[in-house]
Amino acid sequence: MPTSAPEQPIELDITNVAHGGIFVARHEGRVVFVSDAIPGEKVLARITDARKKSFWRAETIAVLEPSEHRRDHVWAEASVDRDPIERPGGAEFGHMSLEHQRALKNQVLSEAFEKFAGGAAPDFDVESVAGDDEAGGLGWRTRVRLHVDENGRMGPYAARSHRVVPVASLPLATTRLSELIELDALVEGAASIDLIDPSGSEPLLCVGADDLKAAGTVTERVRDRGFSVDAGGFWQVHRGAASTLTEAVQRAIDGALFEPRADNLDLYGGVGLLAAAVQDRFGDTVRMTSVEADAGATRHARRNLIAGNIEAETARVDRYLTHLHSRLSAVERRAFRDATVVLDPPRAGAGTQVTAQLAQLAPAQIVYVACDPVALARDAGAFAASGYELTSLRAFDLFPHTHHVEAVASFVRAR
């Protein structure tokens, strides 16, 4: 095995895809993670990071034997023809067909379950959002952050760096956002620019953090509901994601196991999107507590969920569950076994503490919304070890031309 990275570009045969939007090759026995490639290709690559003994990182600089799935990149500035340091990040799968992107996302999620969940995942397909295929996977992003360099030029960062790359287009952004910004303009006095295209209010261009904070509240619409959210707060970025996840969570809940008056929970609840999905399916008699660490999001959740019996509390989920365990009587703990828990944790997942706390509460069913395949698989393995059966898994292509995939998994307590 070589002890130092070669200074000259090397030829690599790409054999697989890895979690994180990179691809796998080997050079003289060492694993090399390569960007901008496709399994089955032979590429010329430049080693960019050789600090680890177990693997190197590399960038494709030329494709010697292209895959049948390779296409012209949807973002010209990210093409393999450009020097890697001049390629903007954020569209790392944009050089292949949408169909093949979804096949690779399916593979990554399936392999994560085999490795971390203790068994194969149920059969599933990565589902597209309505309209995306017709649009070529473009025009879906409703929130874009651009950065400003020392010369006042704006653009996204290059992949895995803080180097600003000026661009002439934003193909993943909605039309309203693309029309809102002059990308060749110079910016003074700000480090970033935020573009926001809410579904229920006018688009915003915010220059700098102070401008974003001053923008206040925007409105997002999902079916017949309006949701207030801070302009800089979290909301799903795909124009159809909120509706897609609403429908997916509603379908994921087993109605035969759902008890409206139980101590149902919506964890990592944000501004109340998924609590509202539960209420819209089962009616205003639903009792549920939505728990969110961000106080601003909780304030919006209280307004968004004003009808019915849903409460919103500001707390870290692990601390909330610790407090819940400490105050439940034996009778209340038994009653909790009728509850349904919906959770939508951050990319790192719920983790060992939260999964253990939920297993101790032993709710009837758990519906888990995940944006990271490995985190979901690890938590699924923890639930399985605690006596829960994975009863369904769906995956959604909410981020076309990137490696990201969203999944909704259902777990039912073994009787």
146-155 pLDDT, tens per residue?
999 999 999 9
List, in sequence order, every residue forming a beta bridge with 166; answer none if it has no partner: none
State the DSSP code for 157.
Answer: B
Confidence at residue 76, expressed as pLDDT on a 0 to 100 scale = 96
For the chain, give every domain's residue range: 10-70, 102-132+223-227+235-413, 143-215
CA 261, CA 253: separation in Å to the nearest integer?
A: 15
Confidence at residue 159, expressed as pLDDT on a 0 to 100 scale = 86
Q: Is 292 one of the annotated binding-site residues?
A: yes
Higher pLDDT, 308 or 49: 49
Confidence at residue 1, expressed as pLDDT on a 0 to 100 scale = 46
Alpha helices in 198-240 (DSSP H): 209-214
Closest among 380, 391, 342 to 363, alpha carbons compared? 342
329-382 per-position pLDDT tens digit: 888 888 899 999 999 999 999 999 999 999 999 999 999 999 999 999 999 999
Q: Is 320 one of the annotated binding-site residues?
A: no
For the chain, percent of residues with pLDDT exceeding 90: 91
Q: Residue 3 — pLDDT band, cuts 50, 70, 90?
A: low
Closest among 314, 312, 324, 258 to 286, alpha carbons compared? 258
Give domain 10-70's CATH architecture: Beta Barrel (2.40)
Q: Is 157 one of the annotated binding-site residues?
A: no
List, in sequence order, every residue forming a beta bridge with 207; answer none if it has no partner: 193
Whether 288 and 281 have beta carbons less than 8 Å apart is answered as no
How far is the CA of 19 from the CAs of 252, 276, 375, in angstroms? 25, 32, 11
220-235 per-position pLDDT tens digit: 999 999 999 999 999 9
Confidence at residue 331, expressed as pLDDT on a 0 to 100 scale = 83
Higher pLDDT, 192 or 121: 192
310-343 per-position pLDDT tens digit: 999 999 999 999 999 999 888 888 889 999 999 9
238-296 per-position pLDDT tens digit: 999 999 999 999 999 999 999 999 999 999 999 999 999 999 999 999 999 999 999 99
Confidence at residue 403, expressed as pLDDT on a 0 to 100 scale = 98
Q: CATH number of the domain at 102-132+223-227+235-413, please?
A: 3.40.50.150
| Residue 72, SS3 per DSSP | coil
List, in sequence order, every residue forming a beta bridge with 220; answer none if it has no partner: 227
The catalytic residues are 371
Give the long-range contacts of residues 218-223, CB within 8 A, separation 24 or more: 222/246, 222/273, 222/276, 223/280
Confidence at residue 53, expressed as pLDDT on a 0 to 100 scale = 83
CA 120, CA 212: separation in Å to the nearest integer?
A: 44
Query: What is the chain's mean pLDDT, rounded?
Result: 95
- Rounded to two decimals, what is the model's pTM? 0.95
CA 108, CA 128: separation in Å to the nearest integer?
A: 17
Q: In what order do the strands lie in the sheet with 287-292?
A: 126-127, 388-396, 406-413, 365-370, 340-343, 264-267, 287-292, 309-314
Confidence at residue 38, expressed as pLDDT on a 0 to 100 scale = 98
Checking if the pLDDT of 4 tops 90, the result is: no
How far is the CA of 234 from the CAs of 165, 196, 242, 273, 288, in angstroms? 25, 11, 12, 11, 21
Kind plus residue range of the DSSP H or E element containing 13: strand 10-13
Q: Is 388 one of the annotated binding-site residues?
A: no
